[in-house]
Amino acid sequence: MRNYMKTHTGLTVIIAAAILLQGISAMQYYYTRSLLADELEKRAESELSVKAVIVKNSLNMSENSLIDHIWNLKRNIIHPDSSYQVMEWVLRSHPNLTGCWVAFVPDYFPERGRLFEPFAWWENGTIKKAEIAAEGRDYTQNRYYKTVYANDAPMWTEAYREVLTDMNLVTYIVPIHDSKDNIIAMFGLDMSVDQMGDTLNYRHIYPSSYNFLLTETGQLLAGPKHKSDKEKAKMEHVINMINDSTVEKSLSNSGRSSVFPMKDADGDEGMVFYADLKGEPKWKIAVVCYDKEVYAKLTKMRRTMGLMTLLALLVLGLIIARFAKNDRKLQKAKVEQERIGSELRIATNIQKEMLPKTFPPYPERNDIDIYGMLIPAREVGGDIYDFFLRDEKLFFCIGDVSGKGVPSAMVMAMIHSLFRMASAHESNPARIMQTINETSCEGNESNMFVTLFIGVLDLPTGHLRYCDAGHDAPFILSEKGKVNSEKYATAIDVQPNLPVGVFDDFTYSMQETQIAPESTIILYTDGLTEAKRAPKQMFGLQRTEEVLSKCALQHLMPRQVLEAISEEVRTFVGDAEQSDDLTMLAIRYTPQRFETTLAETLVLKNDVHEVTRFSNFMKSVTEKLGIEKSLAHQLRLAVEEAVVNVIDYAYPIGTEGDITVKMMSNSHTLRFQIIDSGVAFDPTMKEKADTTLSAEDRQIGGLGILLVRELMDSINYERMDGKNVLTLIKHIKQTGYEHNN
Amino acid sequence: MNTTIEEIDGKYYATLNGEMDTAAALEAEEVLKPLYQSNGKDVIIDCTDLEYIASSGLRILLSILKGAKASGSKVVMKGVNDDIKNVFKLTGFISIFEFE
C-alpha cells in the first residue's frame, strides 16, 4: 500500500510537470506565432510596396518611351509614312515593348482613305511595319479610342491576350494634338506583361511564396511561371478569393493592403496579401505565403521543445524512481534495523534468562542467602555470574569477557554453559577452570579472553575452594571483624592465574580458605572499580572497600549490600555514560547449628562381610528412632550403598582400614557421615547409572550412587584433615506417634 | 539369607529368602551363578520372602536377565513386595524385568 502511494505520488508529479511544461510550450508557441505573424505582415507589406514600385517603374518607363517621342511624331506628321520611323525608335527604347502604333482621326490623310493606322512590331527579332486599318478594322469604334478621345487624356488599357504572339499585353494610349490643340491621332504602344511576371517573382520572401498582378477587374495580368495546371488552378482559386471582397481584411498599419487566410487544394494553409497600385492603371498586386514556411522555424522549435519536454519528463521520472528506490532502501534498512533491535532485545532477554534471576534463590535454606546483579552497558553484555547447589556445595562464578556487545555476549553464553557442564561432576574449581579454559581455547580465532573466578563453598563446613583466572579478588565481609582484626572488608588472597582463553595448556591452581559464619562473599567485575565519572576518575578499589566496610558494619543482607554499592556508583558517576557492565554477586553464609538428639557410631573394617554388622546397626538405629519400615528400608539401603562404596574403593586392595559410620539426628533431620582415611575419593563425582536403557545396554555399575541420590535428600563429600567425609542427609517428618504424644 | 534354585519342566525356579545385603549377595551369587547361562530356559525368581535387596543383589538379577535375553528366554519376578518394587522403580529395573 505504501509503495503504491509512492508510485502514485510519483505519477502525479510527472503528470503535473507534463501539464506545466506543455502549458509553457503552448504559451511560447502562440506568442512566437503571433510575433511571426506580425513579422509576416510587415514583410508582406514591404514586399507588396517594393513590387508595386517595380511595376510602376516599368509602366513609367513605357509611358516615358512614348511621351519622349511625341514631338518626333508631330515634327514628321506631314508625311503619312514618316511615323514608322518614330515607332521604330519607340520600340527600340525598351525591351518590354512589343508594338507601337498611331491611329489617326478619320480623314486626316485623305489620300490614304478615311482610316489610317500605321503599326510597327517586333517579330522574330526584327521590326515589322504595316498599315492595319486597311484590313477593315474600324478603330474609331474601339472603346479605348473613344475614352481617350473623350477624356483627352492618356490611359492604360486593360490587359488582353494577343492571339498571334500568345502574349499578355497592355497598351498605353496618348492623344496627339495639332498646333490648335485638336486631337489628330492616338499614339499607342503595346507592352508585354509576361516579363513583368518574371520580374515580380525574381525573388520571394519565402521560397514557395509567389507574387502576381491583377487588373482592375480581377484578371490575372502577370504571375509566376507555373509548371503545372494544378499550380495554376491553385492560383486561380486565390484570385477568385481576392475578387470575392467578403474575405478581405484590411491590414491595421496601412489602409491600402488587405489580407486573408487561405487553404489550397492540397490543404496547405497560407496568407494572401494584396494591395492596389497607386494611380493608373488600377491594378492589384498580391503575394501568397504558405504557413509551413512562415512558421517552419516555429514548427521545428515546437518539435524540439516537445522532445525536450519528453526528455525532461523522462529525467524527472528517473529521478523520482531513484528517489523511490532510495526510499525503499531506507525503508528496508529501517526494517532491518528494527529487526536487529528486536533480536538484540531477545538476546538481552536470553542472557538475562541464563543468569539466576530469582532471589532469594533458596528460600527453603537458612544457611545461605545470595543476591546477584548485572547492569549491562549495552543491550547485551560480556559479564557473567552464576551459581548452583550440588551435593551441599555452592558452585559460583563471576567473569568478565574482554570487549563488549554481541561478540562478548556470545562468549559469555559459552562460558556459562561450560561452567555448568564442567562442574556437573567436578568439585575442584581449578579443574573446572582447566576444563573451561581448554574448551574455550579451541578455535578461539577472535582471541577473546575471560577473567573468571570460580568458587566452591562446602556448606556443611564453610570450606571454600576457589580458582582465580585473572579476575578481581572477591571481598569477604565480616561484621565481627574476624577476617582481619582491623578491617571489616578484606579482599581474599588470589594467585594470578592467566585469564581463560589464552593458553590451552595453562595449569590453574586452586586455593582454599575457611568462610566464617555470618560472612558475606562479595564478587564483582571491574565495572565497579573502573566506573568512571570522568577520564581517569574511577570509583576505585579503596572506595569499594570503604563502602563494603560500611555495609558490613550495618549488618546489611546481600541484596542491601549490592543496592548500596550500585547507589554509591550511580552517585559517583553522575551523568557520565556507563562504560562497562557492572556485575556483582553477594553470598552470605550462615550455617545452622545441629542440635543432636541421638548420636550413634559404628566402626567397620574394609571388608564386605562387615556389612552384616552394618545391617544390624541400621536396624537398631531406626528402631530406636521409631522410623517406619519402608523409610527404614530406604535409609538402610542408601547408607549401605555408600558404605560398600567406601569398602570397595577407599583403601588399596590388601590394606586394612577403618570406616566410621556416624548417625546423628534431631527432630527433623537424619544425618549419616561415612568417614575413612583412605585415598581421596569423591563419590558425588561418579555418574549415576542411566535408568532408561534396555536390559542389553544396562551396565552393571553406577547403581549404588544412583540409589544414594534417589533415597537421600542430600549428599555431600568433603576431604577434611586427610579424611574423606561423606555426609548423607534425610529430612524426616516427625512421626505421627511422636507428634501426637 | 537362603537361596535355592531348581529346574522343573524346562524352567528354572529360584527362591530368594530373607535379606540380600551386600554380604549376603556374595553367597547368593554362588548359588545363582548357573542361571547366568539359562540356555533358552525361562527363569522364575520367587521373591515372596525376600525382605531386602542391595545393589549387589540387583547386579546378580541383571546378569541373569542379560543371559536369558541373549538365549531368547525370559525372566519372571514373582511376589516382589512394595519396598523392593520401589527399589526396582528407582533403578529403572521395573521396565526391564517381568513381574507376576
pLDDT at A439 over 70: yes
Query: Quick one: what percent of chain A has pLDDT higher than 70?
Result: 94
- What integer pLDDT is reported at residue B64 of this predicted model? 93
Mutation target for B interface from A613, A648, A691, A710: give the one with most B CBs within 10 A. Answer: A691
- What integer pLDDT is reported at residue B87 of this predicted model? 93
Name the pLDDT band for A509 (thresholds 50, 70, 90).
very high
Name the pLDDT band for A738 (thresholds 50, 70, 90).
very low
Contacts of A423 (CB under 8 A, 6+ apart): A388, A390, A395, A432, A454, A456
Mutation target for A interface from B19, B21, B69: give the one with most A CBs within 10 A. Answer: B21
Q: Which member of A612, A636, A694 has the closest CB to residue B23?
A: A612
- What integer pLDDT is reported at residue A740 of this predicted model? 35
Chain B: closest CA distance from residue A625 (Å): 19
- Which one has a higher pLDDT value, A268 or A252? A268
Q: Which member of A640, A700, A711 has the closest CB to residue B21?
A: A640
Asked if the Cβ–Cβ distance from B91 to A703 is below 8 Å, we say yes
Chain A: closest CA distance from residue B87 (Å): 8
- Residues in chain B with CB shorter than 8 Å from the CB of A633 are 52, 83
DSSP A500: B
pLDDT at A739 over 50: no
Name the pLDDT band for A324 (thresholds 50, 70, 90).
confident
- What integer pLDDT is reported at residue A466 of this predicted model? 96
Q: Which member of A630, A698, A703 has the closest CB to residue B55?
A: A703
A49-58, A108-117, A354-363, B15-24: which is most confident: B15-24
**Number of separate helices (H) and strands (E) present in chain B:** 3, 5
β-bridge partners, A270: A262, A290
- Residues in chain B with CB shorter than 8 Å from the CB of A627 are none
Mutation target for B interface from A604, A607, A611: give the one with most B CBs within 10 A. Answer: A611
Q: Which member of A612, A634, A703 has the closest CB to residue B58?
A: A703
- Cα dihedral sign, A615-A617-A620-A621: negative
Reduced to 3 states, what is the DSSP secondary structure of residue A376? coil
pLDDT tens track for A450-474: 999 999 999 999 999 999 999 999 9
- What residue ranges of chain A are covered by domains with CATH 3.60.40.10? 355-589
- What integer pLDDT is reported at residue A468 of this predicted model? 95
Asked if the Cβ–Cβ distance from B69 to A696 is below 8 Å, we say yes
Query: Quick one: what percent of chain A has pLDDT higher than 90?
Result: 25
pLDDT at A370 over 70: yes
List own/partner pairs for A613-616 with CB under 8 A and 24 or more apart. Answer: A614/A639, A614/A640, A614/A643, A614/A661, A614/B21, A615/A640, A615/B19, A615/B21, A615/B23
- Residues in chain B with CB shorter than 8 Å from the CB of A611 are 21-23
- How far from A243 is each of A160, A215, A236, A258, A389, CA to CA, in Å? 18, 11, 10, 12, 125
Contacts of A222 (CB under 8 A, 6+ apart): A168, A193, A194, A196, A197, A200, A212, A213
C-alpha span between A352 and A374 (Å, rounded): 9
- What integer pLDDT is reported at residue A270 of this predicted model? 87
Average the pLDDT over A17-24 and give the result: 86
Asked if the Cβ–Cβ distance from A707 to B55 is below 8 Å, we say yes
pLDDT at A170 over 70: yes
Q: Which member of B52, B56, B90 has the closest CB to residue A710?
A: B90
Asked if the Cβ–Cβ distance from A633 to B63 is below 8 Å, we say no
Name the pLDDT band for A508 (thresholds 50, 70, 90).
very high
Asked whether the beta carbons of A496 and A469 are under 8 A apart, the reply is: no
Strand order in the sheet with A383-390: A383-390, A393-401, A450-458, A463-469, A511-514
Q: Which member of B52, B55, B65 has the closest CB to residue A704?
A: B55
Chain A: closest CA distance from residue B21 (Å): 7
Chain A: closest CA distance from residue B8 (Å): 25
C-alpha span between A704 and A105 (Å, rounded): 173
- Residues in chain B with CB shorter than 8 Å from the CB of A689 are 91-92
pLDDT at A92 over 90: no
Name the pLDDT band for A5 (thresholds 50, 70, 90).
low
Q: Which member of B26, B55, B58 has the closest CB to residue A608?
A: B26
- ipTM rounded to 2 decimals: 0.94
Asked if the Cβ–Cβ distance from B87 to A691 is below 8 Å, we say no
pLDDT at A735 over 80: no
Asked whether the beta carbons of A170 and A159 are under 8 A apart, the reply is: yes
DSSP A576: S
- What integer pLDDT is reported at residue A741 of this predicted model? 32
- What integer pLDDT is reported at residue A447 of this predicted model? 77
Chain A: closest CA distance from residue B9 (Å): 26
Strands A723-731 and A669-676: antiparallel
Written out in words, the top-level CATH class of the domain with range A69-192 is: alpha beta
C-alpha span between A208 and A585 (Å, rounded): 106
Kindly provide the residue ranges of all beta strands, DSSP E only, lying in A376-439, ordered along the sequence.
Answer: 383-390, 393-401
pLDDT tens track for A597-630: 889 999 999 999 999 999 999 999 999 998 999 9
Asked if the Cβ–Cβ distance from A694 to B96 is below 8 Å, we say yes
How many residues are recorded in chain A?
741
Reduced to 3 states, what is the DSSP secondary structure of residue A479? coil
pLDDT tens track for A665-705: 988 889 999 999 999 888 888 877 788 888 778 777 788 88
pLDDT tens track for A542-561: 889 889 988 888 888 999 99
- Which one has a higher pLDDT value, A696 or A504? A504
pLDDT tens track for B67-93: 998 899 999 999 999 999 999 999 989
β-bridge partners, A212: A286
Query: What residues of B are in the A interface, CB distance below 8 Å?
Result: 19, 21-24, 26, 52, 54-56, 58-59, 62-63, 65-66, 69, 82-83, 86-87, 90-92, 96
Q: What share of chain B is helix, strand, coil (3-state, %, to 5)?
A: 45, 35, 20
pLDDT at A346 over 90: no
Chain B: closest CA distance from residue A366 (Å): 30
Chain B: closest CA distance from residue A563 (Å): 45
C-alpha span between B44 and B67 (Å, rounded): 14
- Residues in chain B with CB shorter than 8 Å from the CB of A610 are 23
- What residue ranges of chain A are covered by domains with CATH 3.30.565.10? 598-740
Print burial letters for A632-658: b (CB count within 10 Å at least 16), e (below 16): bbbbbbbbbbbbbbbbebbbeeeeebe
Asked whether the beta carbons of A36 and A295 are under 8 A apart, the reply is: yes
C-alpha span between A724 and A649 (Å, rounded): 12
pLDDT at A146 over 50: yes
C-alpha span between A444 and A53 (Å, rounded): 108
Name the pLDDT band for A61 (thresholds 50, 70, 90).
confident
Average the pLDDT over A76-86 and give the result: 83
A251-265, A535-549, A705-719: which is most confident: A705-719
Name the pLDDT band for A734 (thresholds 50, 70, 90).
low
- What residue ranges of chain A are covered by domains with CATH 3.30.450.20? 69-192
Region of A116 please: left (phi>0), alpha (psi -120 to 50) or beta. Answer: beta
> Architecture of domain A598-740 in CATH?
2-Layer Sandwich (3.30)
Phi, psi of A717 (to 5 degrees): -115, 140
Asked whether the beta carbons of A83 and A96 are under 8 A apart, the reply is: no
Asked if the Cβ–Cβ distance from B91 to A704 is below 8 Å, we say no
User: What's the mean per-residue pLDDT of chain A?
Assistant: 85
- How far from A484 is each of A69, A488, A490, A511, A543, CA to CA, in Å? 159, 7, 7, 19, 18
Domains of chain B listed by start with CATH number: 2-99 (3.30.750.24)
> Can you say how many angstroms the Cα of residue A727 is from the centroid of all Cα atoms in its chain?
70
Name the pLDDT band for A521 (thresholds 50, 70, 90).
very high
pLDDT tens track for B14-72: 999 999 999 999 999 999 999 998 888 999 999 999 999 999 999 999 999 999 988 99
- Which one has a higher pLDDT value, A409 or B19? B19
The CATH fold assigned to A355-589 is Phosphatase 2c; domain 1 (3.60.40)
pLDDT at A425 over 70: yes
Chain B: closest CA distance from residue A640 (Å): 8
pLDDT at A205 over 90: no
β-bridge partners, A186: A103, A175
pLDDT at A165 over 90: no
Q: Which member of B19, B23, B59 has the closest CB to residue A608?
A: B23
Residue B38 corresponds to which cell in the numbers above?
539359562
pLDDT tens track for A210-247: 888 888 788 888 888 766 788 888 888 888 888 876 55
pLDDT at A485 over 60: no
